[in-house]
Structure 1
Amino acid sequence: MAEEQKLLGGDLVAEMLKREGVELIFSLSGGHINPIYNGCRNRDIRIIDTRHEQAAVHMAEGWARYTGKPGVAAVTAGPGVVNALPGMAVASQSGVPLVLIGGRSSLARRDIGAMQDIDQVELMRPLTKWARQVYQAERIPEYVAAAFRQAVSGRPGPVFLEIPVDLVGEDVSGTKVRYPSAYYCESRPCADSKDITLAATMLREAEHPVILAGSGAFWSGAAAELRQFAESTGIPVYTRNMGRGCFPENHPLAGGFFPIGLMQADVVLILGTRLDWTVGYGRPPLLKMSTKTIQVDIEPSEMGQNRPVEIGIIGDVKAVLQQLQEEMAGAAMKMEENWPVTIQVMKEAARDSALQGTDQEAELIHPARLCRELDEILPDKNMLAVDGGDIAGFAVLTMKALSPSSLIWIGAFGHLGVGLPFGLAGKLAHPDRPVTVLTGDGAFGFTAMEFDTAVRHNIPVVCIIANDGGWGQIRRGQKRDFEQTVGVELQTTRYDELARIMGGQGFYVEKIAELKPALEKAFASGKPSIINVRTDPDTGFSGMELPWKIN
């Protein structure tokens, strides 16, 4: 008689991850999750161990942003889960699918003062689409499958699965375990045909139509459909958040990042993006109340948020674009002939505005000039993760995204410290492509020790730090409003020397002419590198006044 197969609960977690196609997880070790580590190692699932749980969750989010698939993080009980909360808040606000697995004290010692015990599910509930605890070890695969399904269904988002330590360490009979299969719906929600006809008519009749595409275009994989639809109709396209690069920003119909053309639009096709502060809440002065809107979103609660919507379509962006393409094939457009040219002029004016008032001969480098230079010299197929305040504002306005995931930014939540974790995840997801992080010195400090993670795991990202020796955005506001500053000054630390001490490469740049040679050496080294760029702490912000005033 064959010996009955015995598996630990941690093996069941790892086996289900393997069946989901998970290649690696991001984690910081702890006793409550040791059996999961063992199960992953035995199944060739790589563990990228970080220096902080927050960074592990940021990396899981970064993996999702660079692959379109849920990232996975695992953290130990109590403090480990608490440290992961900021990362889950970011993923929740950004609508990014990830699965966080948390350890917990044993069921047997619940409510008697066990070590590191806290009600983690209730902590996570406001920040997740779905949060659950497992109560039976043999049901672990069911819960793991449910976690992945919940993360990607409808509008994507983070989920939390708590597994007590006695369950991950429990011996389970293989005969009692059921591994779920075929638990995803492959069909895409489509629009009602009447709504498609109405939308197509409105777009055909418009003189100044515009497409505003956001993260929904990325998560639905609609880049090809978006380009086909724009080119067949001639309608200009603005892209937002994860939508950036779904329509290449060097295309004649691309409006770039800041949608200033909305001011003159008469019809706007909104594809999977929230009308939040980054687009002036969809209200005047950026978007007139007389402008007609067609809103496409997978999430019904977004319809009519912040402004009335003429046509609301609940559906998948890719599927709806395919329907619109079929409906409008060969249709005559009443769009003004020079409208796309007008959008191009606006785009270049917005990009150039960031350089207003800059002195080309100044001793220190203006952050806008740094961004424009990088936009010219970064390698082909480079993927850029942007982090920070001032430097991020200049970067997202002046730098181009040419393909999906080629330029990612935290977006509306404004959370700092994501740059290096996102960059590490990007390089792990695409080892054949150059990956660059552009961050402020303040933002870098939040997750600076993840440079050690890069060195230990040989992840050769290039991190460019715009070092103005302080919290520049806040410092400028204090000077403007109070004519004095407090709590906003940092040292102009030699982060390049820190990189070398930690086993990477470091370069110091004070003149713009030194940037390209430093960048070439950093990429050629094949090591994690920091390029520490001394930037002007007294720059004006005139080039960014319009976006911020509108919002």
Structure 2
Amino acid sequence: MSKITGGELLVLALRKNNIKNVFGLVGNHVSPIFVHAQKHGLDIIDVRHEQAAIHMADGWSQVTRNIGVAIVTGGPGFTNSITGIVKAYMANTPILVIVGSTVPQQRDVGGLQDIDQIGMIREYTKWSASVFDTGRIPEYISIAMKKAVSGLRGPVVLEIPINILKNSIDEEEVNWPENNTIISKSSPNRETLDIILNTIVDAEKPLIIAGDEIYYGHSENELVKFVETTGIPIVTVNKARGCIPDSHSLCFGNGRVLEAGPQLYALHEADVIINVGLNIDYQMGLAKLPFFRAGQKFINICRDEYYNSRITSKPALTVIAEPGETLSALCTLIKEKNIVLKSYSSWIDKLKENDADYWENISSQAGNERIHPINIIRGIMEYIDDDDIVVLDGSNAMFWGSLLFSFNKPGRLIIGPDGTLGPMGCGIPLALAAKLANPDKKVILYTGDGSFGFNAIEMDTAVRLNIPITVIVHNDLAWGFCKSTQQVLYGEQNVSSCDLGIRPYEKMVEALGGYGEFVGRNDRIIPAIKNAIDSGKPACINVLVDYDLFAPGAIMFNESLKAMK
């Protein structure tokens, strides 16, 4: 009878669930897993800090629409991971985190790294559990994988003590669960579809807002068909960006309130808002004044009631169903009933006019000698294709990037501080995971100088493992957004602890073996980007931007803080 250890069993369980790589950092508690990975074709992407491992699993999940997996040692390895886990929870990103721990015999006697890990994180996971039986490891892995993607997506955490991983059992004792779960995609009944259509038929200025569920549900085709069938204009938010091309005649790009772009006019003036798969939170102004207005009707189509429970101040029709299935059913019903919707050409013309005025005003700001983010982002877009991936990080830099980049295919945008936790500094690991998942695509990280520093040492991971991402540092010499907030709330003379000064981030990356270049003039932006991409190395372009320039979203956010009581 052959024997197998818990660590090897865990590797096999991951492989049976189609996991080919994991992100982690070696430690005593998890070494029984790591030593068996290569034998069974499980690639370990080893990082320099556990936080980065979690963020990389998060990035992998976002670009592949599959579960990302991280493995970290217990104690401080686990506590280093908490921010990443909470971020995934508050952004509804499905990841599996496997955590080692001390042996049960050393609990509550002063043993090394004896902490209540599951108790600390349980509230911010979809599901979490400790495994105390080696033979049940595959069962727990199977449960965790299902929990992560069922209902409202999110992180799951499994704690496995080192003795369970080192223990050997007869292979015949292992209970291998069958991976035959079928997830049924629900759509509303005919009566509900009729109510939705009647509301749309009565609308004069309808607007569609598409969110993450469209992306994770692979429903981009259904979304485009619904837009073209109804002729209703649309804005997209976060992971839904690109699910209908920004270049589509009925798509008006980014719909997120935070960027204070031309979408504010559309959101405020629409009389019926059809929300498909979007979590209404602070990123959407909580669907309240002044961004929205009284009397608007909301149709909320989401697969989980949690998304819909946020909108309490609007007349709303709540539909708990798969957004893609619902949109497809609506298109079928329109065809069956031969419904002829009214023309929204006047409404669409107003949206186009508003867009043109907004972009003309923004573009007029980019003409002076100082480097404007518009010039940087225009330069980036000259060297990337629709298939390439953009990661945004920071605050002021993120506001500019989300406002100015356009996306024509799904899965091409990752916003680092997504969800309602909004942590800065996760951009580098997110970009590394995106590149690993798409080795033939360019991956560009546009990040602030402050946020770059959080995980800057992961550029060593990029060099060691030959993951050639290109990092563009939007260097305003400070914690720029915090500086602007202090200026607004407390006065210019009271700004404190915000200045960073000029730092040679590009030299740091060069010293690690990557490519680096400093840019201080507008005419060097495009050549530097070309040099970085053509180098084939992990690269850092350190761009000195106009440090007195703040994105419209940053300005608006500060005004909201000023008005807050």
| TM norm structure 1 | 0.95
Q: 1-side partners of 2:253 and 2:36: how far apart?
A: 46
**Pair 167,352 (structure 1): closer, same or farther in 2 beyond 3 Å:** farther
- CA shift for structure 1 position 393: 0.5
What per-residue deviation string (whole Å, max 9, x for no partner) do you get for residues 423-458 of structure 1?
100000010111110000000000100100000110
- CA shift for structure 1 position 300: 1.2
Task: Give the stretch that moved more between structures: 528-537 or 335-344.
Answer: 335-344
What per-residue deviation string (whole Å, max 9, x for no partner) do you get for residues 251-274 of structure 1?
111111143201111111101112
Is residue 287 of structure 2 the alignment partner of residue 282 of structure 1? yes
- CA shift for structure 1 position 359: 5.1
Code of the residue aligned with 2:113 in structure 1: it is Q
Q: 1-side partners of 2:552 and 2:201: how far apart?
A: 38
Question: Aligned residue for 1:125?
Answer: 122
- Which residue, out of 288, 297, 300, partners 2:302? 297
Is residue 86 of structure 2 the alignment partner of residue 85 of structure 1? no
What per-residue deviation string (whole Å, max 9, x for no partner) do you get for residues 169-224 of structure 1?
00011011011113422321222321111101211221111111111111111111
Question: Aligned residue for 2:271?
Answer: 266
1:269-418 matches, cutoff 5 A: 269-306=274-311, 307-329=313-335, 330-355=338-363, 358=365, 360-362=367-369, 364-409=370-415, 410-411=417-418, 412-418=420-426
What per-residue deviation string (whole Å, max 9, x for no partner) do you get for residues 66-85 of structure 1?
00001000000110110000
1:132-147 matches, cutoff 5 A: 132-147=129-144
Code of the residue aligned with 1:488 in structure 2: it is C
Is residue 505 of structure 2 the alignment partner of residue 495 of structure 1? yes
Decide whether the 8 Å contact of 2:515 with 2:539 is kept in 1. yes
Code of the residue aligned with 1:25 in structure 2: it is V
Give the root-mean-square deviation of aligned CA atoms: 1.8
Code of the residue aligned with 1:515 in structure 2: it is I
What per-residue deviation string (whole Å, max 9, x for no partner) do you get for residues 309-339 of structure 1?
4311101111111111212235211243232
1:510-521 matches, cutoff 5 A: 510-521=520-531
Code of the residue aligned with 2:142 in structure 1: it is A
Question: Aligned residue for 1:452?
Answer: 460
Question: Aligned residue for 1:20?
Answer: 17
What per-residue deviation string (whole Å, max 9, x for no partner) do you get for residues 337-375 of structure 1?
23223223333444455456x35232x312343234433
Question: Aligned residue for 2:538?
Answer: 528
- CA shift for structure 1 position 129: 0.7
Question: Aligned residue for 1:477?
Answer: 485
Decide whether the 8 Å contact of 1:455 with 1:528 is kept in 2. yes
What per-residue deviation string (whole Å, max 9, x for no partner) do you get for residues 386-423 of structure 1?
00111111111111121112122133432101111111
Local SS of the residue matching 1:154: coil
What per-residue deviation string (whole Å, max 9, x for no partner) do you get for residues 444-491 of structure 1?
000100100000110010011011111111112222332222100103
Decide whether the 8 Å contact of 1:63 with 1:70 is kept in 2. yes
What per-residue deviation string (whole Å, max 9, x for no partner) do you get for residues 507-543 of structure 1?
1111222121111221121111111111121125557
Q: 2-side partners of 1:80 and 1:352: how far apart?
A: 50
Q: 2-side partners of 1:423 and 1:301: how far apart?
A: 29
Local SS of the residue matching 1:125: helix
**Pair 173,215 (structure 1): closer, same or farther in 2 beyond 3 Å:** same
Code of the residue aligned with 2:516 in structure 1: it is G
Task: Give the stretch that moved more between structures: 85-94 or 256-265.
Answer: 256-265
Decide whether the 8 Å contact of 1:147 with 1:159 is kept in 2. yes
Task: Give the stretch that moved more between structures: 476-485 or 123-132.
Answer: 476-485
Question: Aligned residue for 2:105?
Answer: 108
Decide whether the 8 Å contact of 1:351 with 1:397 is kept in 2. no
Question: Aligned residue for 1:440?
Answer: 448
What per-residue deviation string (whole Å, max 9, x for no partner) do you get for residues 260-297 of structure 1?
20111111110111221221111122222311111011
Q: 2-side partners of 1:66 and 1:350: how far apart?
A: 31
Task: Give the stretch that moved more between structures: 75-84 or 173-182.
Answer: 173-182
Task: Give the stretch that moved more between structures: 238-247 or 141-150.
Answer: 238-247
| TM norm structure 2 | 0.93
- CA shift for structure 1 position 549: 5.0
**Pair 516,359 (structure 1): closer, same or farther in 2 beyond 3 Å:** closer
Q: 2-side partners of 1:468 and 1:546: how far apart?
A: 19
Is residue 434 of structure 2 the alignment partner of residue 426 of structure 1? yes
Q: 2-side partners of 1:334 and 1:549: how far apart?
A: 39
Decide whether the 8 Å contact of 1:497 with 1:506 is kept in 2. yes
Task: Give the stretch that moved more between structures: 333-342 or 531-540.
Answer: 333-342
**Pair 512,331 (structure 1): closer, same or farther in 2 beyond 3 Å:** farther
Q: Any unmatched runs of 5+ in structure 2?
A: 256-262
- CA shift for structure 1 position 88: 0.6
Q: 2-side partners of 1:354 and 1:133: how far apart?
A: 53
- Which residue, out of 40, 44, 55, partners 2:52? 55
Number of residue pairs matched by the alignment? 546
Local SS of the residue matching 1:384: strand
Code of the residue aligned with 2:98 in structure 1: it is I
- CA shift for structure 1 position 544: 5.4
Decide whether the 8 Å contact of 1:252 with 1:340 is kept in 2. no
Is residue 243 of structure 2 the alignment partner of residue 246 of structure 1? yes
Task: Give the stretch that moved more between structures: 385-394 or 181-190.
Answer: 181-190
Stretches of 4+ aligned residues off by more than 6 angstroms: none
Q: 2-side partners of 1:213 and 1:542: how far apart?
A: 22
Code of the residue aligned with 2:367 in structure 1: it is Q
**Pair 112,143 (structure 1): closer, same or farther in 2 beyond 3 Å:** same
Question: Aligned residue for 2:70?
Answer: 73
**Pair 309,23 (structure 1): closer, same or farther in 2 beyond 3 Å:** farther
Q: 1-side partners of 2:361 and 2:279: how far apart?
A: 26
Task: Give the stretch that moved more between structures: 81-90 or 530-539.
Answer: 530-539
Q: 2-side partners of 1:492 and 1:224: how far apart?
A: 46
Q: 2-side partners of 1:134 and 1:29: how far apart?
A: 20
Decide whether the 8 Å contact of 2:59 with 2:414 is kept in 1. no
Q: Any unmatched runs of 5+ in structure 1?
A: none
